[in-house]
Amino acid sequence: MVILKIDWLAALAALVVLAVGPWLSGSSYVIGVLTVALCFGMWAASWDFMSGLTGRENFGHSLFIGAGAYTAGFLNVNFGLSPYISLVAGPLVAVLFSIVMGFPTLRLKGPYFALAMLSAAAVMQSLTIIFSEYTGGQDGLNGLDPMLDSTLAYYYLTLFFLALTAVTLKLLANSPWGTLLRAIRGDEASCQAAGFNVTFYKIASLTISAAVAGLGGVLYAHYQLQVGPDLFAVILSINIIIMVYVGGMGSIYGPIGGAILLNVLTEAFRSFSEYRLWVYTLVLMFIVYFMPQGLIAPLWRKIRAVAP
Amino acid sequence: MSTILTVKGLNKRFSGLHAVKDVSFALEAGALTGVLGPNGAGKTTVFNLLTGFVPPDSGSVEFDGQLLDGLAPHQIVNRGLARTFQLARPFLGMSVLENVEVACLAPRVRQQGRPRLRAQRLLEQVGLGERSEFLVDVLPYGDLRRLEIARALATNPKVLLLDEPFAGLGSDEIRPLADLIRSLHRTEQLTILIIEHKLRELMQLVSEVIAMDFGEVVAVGPPAMIVRHPRVVEAYIGNVEIGSALGRTEDSLGAA
């Protein structure tokens, strides 16, 4: 119980820092960087909930992000609907995608799920180009309405949704449901032998993962006020997986920290100009080599172990 | 006694290999029965067919008055037919207690008391009570076998299928495990079917044996009869040294 309390206190402290920091700085640059970082936090946490817990790696998480973001773009730009409708519609469309993808591929063993997700995201990226008269092609859809007038207020809205989804995912991960998802990672046949419909649990957790990723996509779209084919890009999915690894897989909070850390680092390395990617990559290699379990979650576990 | 499991005419081919040929047998409720046969005789495939992990080409399985045709593994477990695996398959990365707790969350048993407490009780029953907090990854092989049994028991089965529980164990580990299986049979009134290819361990434990070779049931009967059955002797020893091998088996039977 004491340990649980420390966890929630730390989460609260992190939330306070994230809430007060941008307000104190007052810089719209800082607010912008952190808004994007929070979106990545939602994407990393949602990837972790399905793939981190069950071990079935999803190499096309951008499929759900793009689905949410383009839903926001279509509804707002093409149909002139209120951005707030997308907060519900975006996740719903992403869930639809996850059912279409999960139902045929998560019944199979082997790499089919990972490969199917990878290709589906790539196919969607091409489709945005092919149907450019509706999607705006390479330029994407521009001129989305902002949800709120002030960027700081929008930052707080994003922070609210990140906190809400993070707590939900963490509670689910700590529940019997999460125990079962970790057991699936351990051994699928043993889960079946224990009486569980493994396929159902994998698909259900993918839909939850997709809903959160789609919501993040909607929030991202209404921050950028633009959606483009890059939101379906493989590199986006890979970046999210890297953030999860750096944060510590299967912990939910670690990947959120990893996402914020790497987003902030990328910005901090701007001073290295053309060497920026080199430095970034070196830091990543350093972390993966010396801390294969990740940085944030293992570090927190160590702190917690010595805490009174 | 009533029949709890009836297997009729099971067949399974794996691209040319007739792994299970027209296998039929029945289990009485409360029986402790062995499936004997050399490696490759089709014993594990029979288990996979019974538990829905592999669909049969033809034949039927009737369990507790109902046909199991076309049911998925988890549905069969939730009707009370549980199994262990030949190679222990623990949930790596989780504690011993969590491993059993998972099985206590299954739909069939979810309502039977708090999963954590039930899991701890089951671990004590199989002799792992003091290791419940260990990470399962560091458990020695003999303990993994016990864990497999605890996990199967967690689903509160009517019939328990054990796939080579003694494989890879030293002789000092075999006896306590055999004692555990015997006591489960006695105290829980559990119907148990054990696969084993080691004659001696099986013969001391069970009251009836189903002998298999090349995918077929070649003999059914009490152990003393099975060890003398010509097809069993042939499968096990070939045509050489029959006399001395039989003598050894009978010695061990006498000691039991």
Q: Which residues of B touch A180 (CB under 8 A)?
A: 102, 105
A191 to chain B: closest CA residue: B103
- A13 and A197 in contact (C-beta within 8 Å)? no
Which of A235-249, A285-299, B4-18 shows the lowest per-residue confidence on average (mean pLDDT)? A285-299
Beta bridge partners of B67: B62
How far is the first Cα of chain B from the last one, in angstroms, to the nearest whole number? 26
Neighbours of B70 (CB within 10 A): 8
B56-68 pLDDT, tens digit per residue, is 999 999 999 899 9
**Are A192 and B92 a contacting pair at CB < 8 A?**
no
State yes or no: pLDDT of B86 exceeds 90: no
Residue B187 is given by DSSP the state H
Is B186 within a domain? yes
Compute the count of residue pairs across chains A and B with CB atoms less than 8 Å apart: 76
Rounded Cα distance between B47 and B161, Å, is 7
Residue written as token pair 């794996």: B14
Per-residue pLDDT band at B238 (split at 50, 70, 90)? low
The residue among B74, B118, B135, B139 with the most chain A CBs within 10 A of its CB, best to mutate, is B74
**Are A183 and B108 a contacting pair at CB < 8 A?**
no
3-class DSSP state of B198 = coil
Is B74 within a domain? yes
* B43 min Cα distance to partner chain A (Å): 18
State yes or no: pLDDT of B217 exceeds 50: yes
3-class DSSP state of B151 = helix
Q: Which residues of A touch B84 (CB under 8 A)?
A: 193
pLDDT of residue A42: 97
State yes or no: pLDDT of B244 exceeds 50: no
Write out the residue range of the structural domain in which residue B85 sits. Answer: 15-90+142-149+156-255
- A164 φ, ψ to 5°? -60, -50
A186 to chain B: closest CA residue: B91
Non-local (6+) Cβ contacts of A117 within 8 A are: A58, A59, A60, A61, A63, A101, A105, A237
pLDDT of residue B82: 94
At CA A198, angle to CA A196 and CA A200, rounded to 5?
Answer: 105
State yes or no: pLDDT of B239 exceeds 70: no
On the 0-12 / 13-18 / 19+ scale of CB atoms within 10 A, A176 is middle
Q: Which residues of A touch B74 (CB under 8 A)?
A: 192, 194-198
- Given A189, A194, A197, which is nearest B102 (Cβ)? A194
pLDDT of residue B243: 46
Rounded Cα distance between B190 and B160, Å, is 7
Polymer length of chain A: 308
pLDDT of residue B1: 61
Is B176 within a domain? yes
Q: What's the whole-number mean pLDDT along residues B137-142?
A: 88
**Are B103 and A195 a contacting pair at CB < 8 A?**
yes
Rounded Cα distance between B68 and B74, Å, is 12
What the block records as the tokens of B228 is 């003398």
Which of A20-29, A81-90, A215-224, A244-253 shows the lowest per-residue confidence on average (mean pLDDT)? A20-29
Is B177 within a domain? yes
Selected residue with higher pLDDT from A266 and A217: A217
Instruction: Name the residue type at position A46.
Output: S
**Of B18, B147, B174, B155, nearest in space to B78 by CA:** B155
**Are A179 and B102 a contacting pair at CB < 8 A?**
yes
**Of B251, A58, B75, nearest in space to B63 by CA:** B75
A24-58 pLDDT, tens digit per residue, is 887 889 999 999 999 999 999 999 999 999 999 99
State yes or no: pLDDT of B250 exceeds 80: no
Non-local (6+) Cβ contacts of B184 within 8 A are: B149, B153, B160, B190, B192
**Are B91 and A193 a contacting pair at CB < 8 A?**
no
- A232 and A121 in contact (C-beta within 8 Å)? yes
- B174 and B139 in contact (C-beta within 8 Å)? no
The domains found in chain A, sorted by start residue, are: 2-306 (1.10.3470)
- Given A179, A180, A194, which is nearest B77 (Cβ)? A194
**Are A197 and B72 a contacting pair at CB < 8 A?**
yes
Kindly report the CATH number assigned to the domain that includes residue B63: 3.40.50.300
Rounded Cα distance between B179 and B181, Å, is 5
- Given A182, A197, A198, which is nearest B94 (Cβ)? A182
3-class DSSP state of B37 = coil
Helix (H) or strand (E) holding B162: strand B159-163
- A225 φ, ψ to 5°? 60, 25
A140-195 pLDDT, tens digit per residue, is 899 899 999 899 999 999 999 999 999 999 999 999 999 999 999 989 999 999 99
B88-114 pLDDT, tens digit per residue, is 889 988 999 999 999 999 888 888 888
Show the 3-state SS of chain A: CHHHHHHHHHHHHHHHHHHHHHHHHCCHHHHHHHHHHHHHHHHHHHHHHHHHHHCCCCCCCHHHHHHHHHHHHHHHHHCCCCHHHHHHHHHHHHHHHHHHHHHHHCCCCCCHHHHHHHHHHHHHHHHHHHCHHHHCHHHCEECCCCCCCCHHHHHHHHHHHHHHHHHHHHHHHHCHHHHHHHHHHHCHHHHHHCCCCHHHHHHHHHHHHHHHHHHHHHHHHHHHCEECHHHHCHHHHHHHHHHHHHHCCCCCHHHHHHHHHHHHHHHHHHHHHHHHHHHHHHHHHHHHHHCCCCCHHHHHHHHHHHCC
pLDDT of residue B255: 39
Find the radius of gyration of the CA atoms of chain B. 18
What the block records as the tokens of A123 is 């196919």
* B145 min Cα distance to partner chain A (Å): 13
ipTM associated with this complex = 0.84
3-class DSSP state of B84 = coil
**Are B102 and A183 a contacting pair at CB < 8 A?**
yes
State yes or no: pLDDT of B242 exceeds 80: no
Residue written as token pair 């069969």: B76
Residue B90 is given by DSSP the state -
Contact with chain A for residue B82, Cβ under 8 A:
yes
A195 to chain B: closest CA residue: B74
What b/e sequence results for B23-49 when a residue is b if at least 16 CB atoms lie within 10 Å of its CB, and e otherwise? Answer: bebebeebbbbbbbbeeebbbbbbbbb
A179 to chain B: closest CA residue: B102
B137 to chain A: closest CA residue: A186
Non-local (6+) Cβ contacts of B222 within 8 A are: B207, B208, B209
Give the count of domains, chain B.
Answer: 1
pLDDT of residue B48: 93
**Are A190 and B151 a contacting pair at CB < 8 A?**
yes
pLDDT of residue B109: 86
Is B240 within a domain? yes
Category of B121 on φ-ψ map: left (φ > 0), alpha (ψ -120 to 50) or beta: alpha
pLDDT of residue B71: 93
Q: Which residues of A touch B116 (CB under 8 A)?
A: none
* CA atoms within 13 A of residue B48's CA, in its CB half-sphere: 16
